[in-house]
Amino acid sequence: MADRRPIGIAMNGVTGRMGLRQHLLRSVLAIREQGGIPIGDGSVIWPEPVLIGRNEHKVKAIADEHDLPWTTNLTEALADPGVRVYFDSLVTGERQRTVREAIAAGKHVYCEKPTASDLATALELARLAKDAGVKNGVVQDKIFLPGLLKLKRLVDGGFFGRILSVRGEFGYWVFEGDWQPINRPSWNYRAEDDGGIILDMFCHWQYVLNHVFGKPLSVQALAATHIPARWDEQGAEYRATADDAAYGIFELDGGIVAQINSSWATRVFRDELVEFQVDGTEGSAVAGLRRCRVQHRSATPMPVWNPDLPPTEDFRSQWQEVPDNRVFDNGFKTQWELFLKHVVLDTPWHWDLLAGARGVQLAELGLRSAKEGLRLSIPDLEL
């Protein structure tokens, strides 16, 4: 067995959807199942999670199932010298309090997005971490999706020529809760609980656009609350006060126009839950979570507009599949591995709390744009 270099991780929020499935099961425990993270000298980084939860019954049940230590006391978990990393996937509004406490305790911090519900707080957390000299990171899982990795490969290889535009469609139907159970937590639909699709998704669009195509320079958004009443986890009706759909236009560096619809009130007639079409002078691509298809300039057919006849061409068959050419791991796990290597070995890391604040900035500007009916430029952020 390889020599283990243990690293204690206090994980808060593992009773939640993301904390349990993506972070504990598919990332941290999956890393242990694969035998740790090899670091090249024959030894492996070995995560040692300590689970934190408000509800003793719930957190203990998860801990017992996986034979892990647990506590309901954050301060106590942070006082353990073996715990070097604090991870947070609590509801957004709770994050700033716990992250502040972890930074004050000298722990490295890794957390879900949005890092905070407003830009001032997100920047303050980034500053606190920098001043305390702790390593810090935010989850930016979408850039590790196979479909987007393929898209990035095409961009880097010059496939598109000059990129003209990007059109993104994200969304699916989130059940109201009256006649079928809800498929997302109810806080997402209440503005007073930091819900809303702009705060949730614009954080993702910021780093996706920036990483794959170019820096977002301006935003113009229209927000809607299409479904005004929903039913919560207890079956009680409540007023949905947050936006459940956002129609955004972003100008990117290099003159690229990106348009992204995000909606929890749409039914899927796509191949995947998110899809991006990219059009460039030399070719176009359509990428989803996993697949990516291309049409080169040389293979672009000349369609004829004739509504008097049924379609004569099968447009989808005129695209070519981009091969995997490698094995793709879970994006959350890939980012965890990079973060833990960054903590242990000081390897390069790009997704810090300042990067997280840029996502919150785009969300805040998107909400303001929607409220005031304006197109807003996006100032550079620095600490």
Interface contacts to ligand NAD, rule CB under 6 A: 13, 15-19, 54, 89-92, 94, 112-114, 139, 141, 185, 200
Q: Give the shortest CB-144-to-ligand NAD separation in angstroms.
A: 11
Shorter beta-carbon distance to ligand NAD: residue 7 or 90: 90
Q: Give the shortest CB-282-to-ligand NAD separation in angstroms.
A: 32
- Minimal CA–CA distance to 132: which of 99, 111, 101, 106? 106
- Cβ atoms within 10 Å, residue 278: 26
Contact 77, 50 (CB under 8 A): yes
Q: Give the shortest CB-92-to-ligand NAD separation in angstroms.
A: 4
Q: Give the shortest CB-60-to-ligand NAD separation in angstroms.
A: 13
Contact 50, 70 (CB under 8 A): yes
In order, the DSSP letters of 201-252 are: HHHHHHHHHHHHT--EEEEEEEEE----EEE-TTS-EEE--S-SEEEEEEEE
Nearest residue to ligand NAD, scored by beta-carbon proximity = 16
Shorter beta-carbon distance to ligand NAD: residue 100 or 375: 100
Shorter beta-carbon distance to ligand NAD: residue 200 or 251: 200
Shorter beta-carbon distance to ligand NAD: residue 32 or 185: 185
Dihedral sign, CA of 129, 113, 251, 249? negative
Q: Measured between alpha carbons, how far is 299 from 9 in angstroms, rounded to an integer?
A: 51
Q: Give the shortest CB-88-to-ligand NAD separation in angstroms.
A: 8
CA 214-323-147 angle, 5° bins: 40
Buried b (16+ CB within 10 A) or exposed e, 20-51: bebbbbbbbbbbbeeebbebeeeebbbbbbbb
Q: Give the shortest CB-169-to-ligand NAD separation in angstroms.
A: 17
Q: Give the shortest CB-233-to-ligand NAD separation in angstroms.
A: 9
Shorter beta-carbon distance to ligand NAD: residue 141 or 244: 141
Shorter beta-carbon distance to ligand NAD: residue 105 or 322: 105
Shorter beta-carbon distance to ligand NAD: residue 54 or 162: 54
